[in-house]
Chains A and B, each alone.
Chain A
Amino acid sequence: MLNFLSYLGRVGLDFISQAGGMALLFLTTLVYTFRPPFRLRLFFKQMEFVGVNSLLVVVLTALFSGMVMAFQGYHALSKFGGESLLGGLVALSLVRELGPVLTSLMVTARAGSAMAAELGSMRVTEQIDALEVMAVNPVHYLVVPRFWAAVIMVPLLTIIADLVGIAGGYLVGVMLLNVDAGIFIRKMQEMVEWLDLSSGIYKAFVFGGLLSIIGCYKGYNASGGAEGVGRATTEAVVIASVSILVGDYILTSLLF
Chain B
Amino acid sequence: MVKLVDLYKSFGEQTVLNGINLEIPRGKLTFIMGRSGTGKSVLLKHIIGLLKPDRGQILIDGQDVTHLSEKEWQRLRRKFGFLFQEGALFDSMTVAENVAFPLIEHTKLSKKEIQRKVEEKLSQVGLLEARNKYPAELSGGMKKRAALARALALEPEIILFDEPTTGLDPMLQVATMKLIRKTQQQYGLTGVVVTHDVPIALMAADYIAFLNEGRVVAEGTPEEIKKSEHPFVREFLKSAFEGCYPEEGRDVQEKHGD
Residue numbers of A with Cβ under 8 A of B are 121-122, 125-127, 129-130, 132-137
Contacts and interface: CB of A to CB of B under 8 A. Distances in A.
Nearest to A141: B105
A40 to B, nearest CB: 14
Contact of B84 (A121, A130, A135, A136): A130
B77 to A, nearest CB: 4
Contact of A137 (B48, B74, B90, B106): B74
Contact of B88 (A129, A135, A136, A137): A129
B74 A129 contact: no
3 tightest Cβ-Cβ pairs between the two chains A and B = A130-B88, A126-B88, A135-B77
A130 B82 CA distance: 8
Contacts of A130: 82, 84, 88-90
Given A125-B86, A126-B84, A126-B86, A132 B91 contact: no
A125 B50 CA distance: 14
B105 A135 contact: yes
Interface residues of B, number: 21
Contacts of B82: 130, 133-134
9 contacts: A129-B45, A130-B84, A130-B88, A130-B89, A132-B50, A132-B77, A133-B80, A134-B77, A135-B78
A127 B88 contact: yes
Contacts of B50: 129, 132-133
Contacts of B89: 127, 130
Contacts of B101: 134
Nearest to A139: B70
Contacts of A121: 91
A145 to B, nearest CB: 13
Contact of B74 (A122, A126, A127, A135): A135
Contacts of A129: 45, 50, 84, 88
Interface string B82-105: 101010111100000000011001
Contacts of A122: 90
Contacts of B80: 133
Given A125-B91, A127-B91, A134 B105 contact: yes
A116 to B, nearest CB: 16
Given A132-B77, A135-B77, A127 B48 contact: no
A46 to B, nearest CB: 12
A126 B90 CA distance: 9
A135 B106 contact: yes
A126 B135 CA distance: 14
B105 A136 contact: yes
B112 interface: no
A57 B195 CA distance: 51
B256 interface: no
B255 interface: no
A122 B50 CA distance: 15
A226 to B, nearest CB: 14
B227 interface: no
Contacts of A132: 50, 73, 77
A136 B70 CA distance: 11
Contacts of A135: 74-75, 77-78, 105-106
A200 to B, nearest CB: 34
